């Protein structure tokens, strides 16, 4: 009990700190990449396709733009290849 009261006082004093460090700049939301906007526009070109077809086409286009940014990324290459096959099979 003798240690509880000083401990509570220390905790109360520490919680009253008004000089909290604030960041110099307020964080902002990331900007939308123009390639993503172009990808959704090209997915809309699939006429008569189902919604899932448009989603796959959009994902494929985004994956292709990511692959253009990093052409040696084997995971991105496999993703583009898989999405190409999926769009080809589903949308045709």
For each successive 10 residues of the chain (92 residues), what is the average pLDDT? Answer: 72 65 63 54 56 88 92 91 89 78
Question: Contact, 91 vs 49, CB < 8 A?
Answer: yes
| pTM of model > 0.85 | no
Q: What is the per-residue pLDDT for 4?
A: 74
Return the structure tokens found at 50.
């189902």
Domain residue ranges in the chain = 32-92
SS3 50: coil
Quickly count: other Cβ atoms within 10 Å of residue 79's Cβ: 18
Question: Contact, 11 vs 33, CB < 8 A?
Answer: no
């Amino acid at each position: 009990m003798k240690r509880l009261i000083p401990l509570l006082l220390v905790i109360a004093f520490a919680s009253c700190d008004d000089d909290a460090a604030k960041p110099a700049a307020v964080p902002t939301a990331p900007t939308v990449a123009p390639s993503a906007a172009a990808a959704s526009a090209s997915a809309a070109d699939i006429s008569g396709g189902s919604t899932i077809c448009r989603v796959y086409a959009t994902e494929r286009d985004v994956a292709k733009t990511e692959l253009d940014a990093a052409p040696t990324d084997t995971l991105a290459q496999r993703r583009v290849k898989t999405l190409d096959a999926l769009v080809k099979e589903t949308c045709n």
